[in-house]
Structure 1
């Protein structure tokens, strides 16, 4: 029991020490509080934003953009990964083009996306979708390509083919790699969303940060940074939870 409690405490030691150090630096004014407000100042500002409903509103907008982009981009990446993983000819036909697009930085696409979609929600969701698609695609493809051929042959010996072979052998064998891609994509999702929300907008956590920058409100900017960090951590925890549930049959997740 003590070991379990200790294991739960250890990951939070560094964040705790960071906050303590931050408080000491701010209290002694080793750094100007205009540049680095004290933790209590941040908490008070966050409280006022929550009570006014402003923070919750912008959080809902950002989370919606992120989830819609994840569903579109992640779904497309998974489908392409599966298609190229099971079809040699489709892989030869499309993979080179996909890899070329993957290496284009998201920031380089922003001017073109604004021309295509304007500054509405479509532009932001498109950027997030592009960002999350490639990690899911690459890891899904990698998972299918690295399945032991012996398992596939054994499945065929038992009469499995087509959809049944995919469902019983290929998909379970690729799932560990798919979840790695999903967890990586979740991190990319928030990074891309930050970029997307710098495009002219009046809603979202990014808008809150940009407005705070104009008025030199460093406490609000720090709140938005903390929010993105918490979003990323929560998304990773949910992905790991799903990973453990779906892959509980796998020896690496059944310890």
Structure 2
């Protein structure tokens, strides 16, 4: 049966007309200067209504593509609104530089090498092939050390794996054994609520080189450990007893029961914990780099705040946000590989 799009088309036309009249009215009466927040709110509601109607008219075959386009177009609309508010004098360009200036600053951070600090956002990747084949005096390690992005990613990845692996193991044990869970749970909860950045001075006291990479990686690892442990324990503990009984009825015992029933049943919650832990790892390392680092995206962002270069400071924040999106997307791919039954 063919779907009747006439009511949707009429509503869509009305909403588009309202959107046009609202923005023209605000511009004509100079309402954007004083009521810009109301203008944005009404625009957002009208755009949501338009998107809803278009979504109902889109064929189901194109629905996934339409949802992805919404996810991309919304931040673009935010940047467009930001640009227009700055150009219109609503926001100060000194503290809220327009996105076009931020993009230019980001391009400078990527392409220009700071001869004073001997660093840049990406370092000098065009020299890596020569260093690999011995055609450069610098080694690959020395070239990587010039990159703020590499410094941050190295700390995140190393700390994440050092915290996630023991966290999964301890969480599995706590989930399986009520005795161990009762003994450790209260202590784990007490340490979990500590602000992770507050642990950093303790790590600086423990490690022989307080200004090296050890304390930074250790703080990330500790932050990841608690989140992964708690989520893994909950995932194992909350497996439906009927699944365990079904596994035993089919002869699964010990390792077989763990591998075929407990582990697959807990994986969704474990990966939820890993996603939270990965985001927390990035947040913690950026905060640590604000405080005590000479390289890293966090250091770069704080440095440009200190010298009052807001467009480059915002560019550093954009890099952090992009890192968060890419790391989460990568972990989702790993999750789909481990759990093929949950693939879309």
**Same fold, judged at TM 0.5 (above):** yes
CA-to-partner distance for each residue in 1:176-199, whole Å, 9 max, x for gaps? Answer: 111111111121111111122123
Question: Mapping of 1:85-234 within 5 angstroms?
Answer: 85-117=175-207, 118-234=210-326
Aligned residue for 2:15?
A: none
**2:250 & 2:331 partners in 1: Cα distance?**
33
Aligned residue for 2:168?
A: 78
Aligned residue for 2:110?
A: 50
**How much does 1:12 deviate?**
2.2
**Residue 67 in structure 1 maps to residue 133 in structure 2:** no
**How much does 1:254 deviate?**
4.9
**1:34 counterpart SS class:** coil
**2:248 & 2:158 partners in 1: Cα distance?**
38
Root-mean-square deviation (CA, aligned residues, Å) is: 1.6
**Residue 30 in structure 1 maps to residue 90 in structure 2:** yes
**How much does 1:71 deviate?**
0.3
CA-to-partner distance for each residue in 1:117-155, whole Å, 9 max, x for gaps? Answer: 312111111111111122211111111111122222222
CA-to-partner distance for each residue in 1:52-95, whole Å, 9 max, x for gaps? Answer: 25111101110110011110111121111011112222222222
Q: What TM-score, normalized by structure 2, do the two folds share?
A: 0.70
Structure showing greater relative contact order (alpha-carbon pairs closer than 8 Å, 6 or more residues apart): 1
**How much does 1:248 deviate?**
2.6
**1:245 & 1:107 partners in 2: Cα distance?**
33
Q: What TM-score, normalized by structure 1, do the two folds share?
A: 0.92
**1:160 counterpart SS class:** coil
**1:162 & 1:204 partners in 2: Cα distance?**
46
**2:103 & 2:198 partners in 1: Cα distance?**
36
Contact 1:123 1:196 in 2 (8 A): no
Unaligned runs of 5+ in 2: 1-60, 114-119, 123-146
Contact 1:151 1:169 in 2 (8 A): yes
Unaligned runs of 5+ in 1: none
Contact 2:282 2:324 in 1 (8 A): yes
**1:167 & 1:221 partners in 2: Cα distance?**
48
**2:93 & 2:149 partners in 1: Cα distance?**
26
Contact 1:139 1:181 in 2 (8 A): yes
Q: How many pairs does the alignment contain? A: 252
